[in-house]
């Protein structure tokens, strides 16, 4: 099975940088996903890491350490529209989601 842990809530200021951490314990690990979900909407794909290291995509970057069972999502130059829930998901036979981190960006 899989166990995914991430903080419940985070708050940051517009223009700042925020890092959302995720730890996982999983069998048959096949990569780690990050999704963004606004209230009442379906998740949208942000990133996928299967190898160790940092993947950068615009303002968003994601890091994976398989030996530590650890990942983080880094959001730079925060904007108000980045206020959302960020879901960490481990991939094996299917995706297993963490509880999500509700990020609030303040002006």
Partner 1 sequence: GAVVSQHPSRVICKSGTSVKIECRSLDFQATTMFWYRQFPKQSLMLMATSNEGSKATYEQGVEKDKFLINHASLTLSTLTVTSAHPEDSSFYICSARDLRGGTEAFFGQGTRLTVV
Is residue 30 left, alpha or beta, with left meaning phi > 0 and alpha meaning psi from -120 to 50?
Answer: alpha
Candidates 12, 20, 33, 105; binder of partner 1 (CB under 8 A) is: 33
Q: Which is nearer to partner 1, 16 or 53 (CB)?
A: 53
Residue 31 CB, shortest distance to partner 1, in Å, is 6
- How much of the chain is helix, strand and coil, in % rounded to 5? 5, 60, 35
Q: How far apart are CA 57 and CA 83, in angstroms?
A: 18
Q: Which is nearer to partner 1, 43 or 107 (CB)?
A: 43
| Residues in binding contact with partner 1, number by CB under 8 A | 21
Is 69 an interacting residue with respect to partner 1 (CB under 8 A)?
no
Is 99 an interacting residue with respect to partner 1 (CB under 8 A)?
yes
- Report the DSSP beta bridge partners of residue 3: 25
């Amino acid at each position: 099975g899989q166990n995914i842990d991430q903080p419940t809530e985070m708050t940051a200021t517009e223009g700042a940088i925020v890092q959302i951490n995720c730890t996982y314990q999983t069998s048959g690990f096949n990569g780690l996903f990050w999704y963004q979900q606004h209230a009442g909407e379906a998740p949208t794909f942000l990133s996928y890491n299967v190898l160790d290291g940092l993947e950068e995509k615009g303002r968003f970057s994601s890091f994976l350490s398989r030996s530590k069972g650890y990942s983080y999502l880094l959001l730079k130059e925060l904007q108000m529209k980045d206020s959302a829930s960020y879901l960490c998901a481990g991939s094996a036979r299917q995706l297993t989601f963490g509880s999500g981190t509700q990020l609030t960006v303040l002006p």
